[in-house]
Amino acid sequence: MIEISHVDKWYSPSFQVLTDCTTSVTKGEVVVVCGPSGSGKSTLIKCVNALEPFQKGDISVDGTKVNDPRTNLPKLRSRVGMVFQHFELFPHLKIIDNLCLAQQKVLDRSRDKAMAKGMQLLERVGLKEQAQKFPANLSGGQQQRVAIARALAMDPIVMLFDEPTSALDPEMVSEVLDVMVDLAHEGMTMMVVTHEMGFARKVANRVIFMDRGEIVEDAPKDDFFGKPRSDRAQKFLSKILSH
């Protein structure tokens, strides 16, 4: 579903963020990406839907090369759901309109169809009553669930998550993770940047560990938690598991 091969990215000639990153996510797979702050996790995941350009290598999603100038990027992105650390709901639009905007403008769905789909997804994430409110009136956990619903409204073939719970108060983390676990169980293909190792243990197929722009470790979940091969991954794991 996602093929990443030999991707290099520089933010400036002297600063390389990604070095020879190669990995893939197959259909129905859940891959968790972790690693220390600044290691390039967000950058890598943003390369997948071309929110960030990269200078070398190739990434393709469902057979479409994202770094091909002939690729219709809006169309490709509409099939790749993305959830951000800071939710990024549109503050000037009501919750339901947050869910309808792209459905109507990108997928050309009628208002009625978009509304029906939107309400169905809000119900699914347990927020049907909030449809007419504005994002600022919702808690962080609620906003993130709306953001997930907004992405799902486009019927994506794959979902990308960039630290979806790290901006949340601790008591709201689980309500968001529950939605993500359900998604994973339904067979959604997911690439998730997160430090929630409980989530990784529960649903991940593979875990990728990044450090200084490199994919240091890319292993099936059990191998990763069992005995990470690299020193750096071991250190990182013991650090985040200790609290």
Ligand X SMILES: Nc1ncnc2c1ncn2[C@@H]1O[C@H](COP(=O)(O)OP(=O)(O)OP(=O)(O)O)[C@@H](O)[C@H]1O
Cα within 13 Å of Cα(12), Cβ side: 2
Q: For the segment 39-58, give every residue that binds Mg ion (CB under 5 A).
A: 42
Task: For the CB of residue 182, give the shortest distance to another protein in the complex, in Å.
Answer: 21
| 194: contact with Mg ion by CB under 5 A | no
Q: Which of 106, 132, 222, 240 binds another protein (CB under 8 A)?
A: 106
In order of 23, 150, 184, 185, 207, the CA distances from 120 in angstroms are 34, 11, 19, 19, 32
Q: Which of 23, 32, 34, 39 binds ligand X (CB under 6 A)?
A: 39
Q: Which stretch binds ligand X (CB under 6 A): 37-45, 95-103, 137-145, 167-175?
A: 37-45
Q: Which stretch binds ligand X (CB under 6 A): 34-42, 108-116, 120-128, 152-160?
A: 34-42
| 74: contact with another protein by CB under 8 A | yes
Strand order in the sheet with 64-65: 15-25, 2-12, 56-61, 64-65
| 102: contact with another protein by CB under 8 A | yes
Residues that bind another protein in the complex, under the rule CB under 8 A: 46, 49, 51, 74-82, 84, 86, 88-92, 101-102, 105-107, 134, 136, 150-151, 154
Residues that bind ligand X in the complex, under the rule CB under 6 A: 11, 17, 35, 37-43
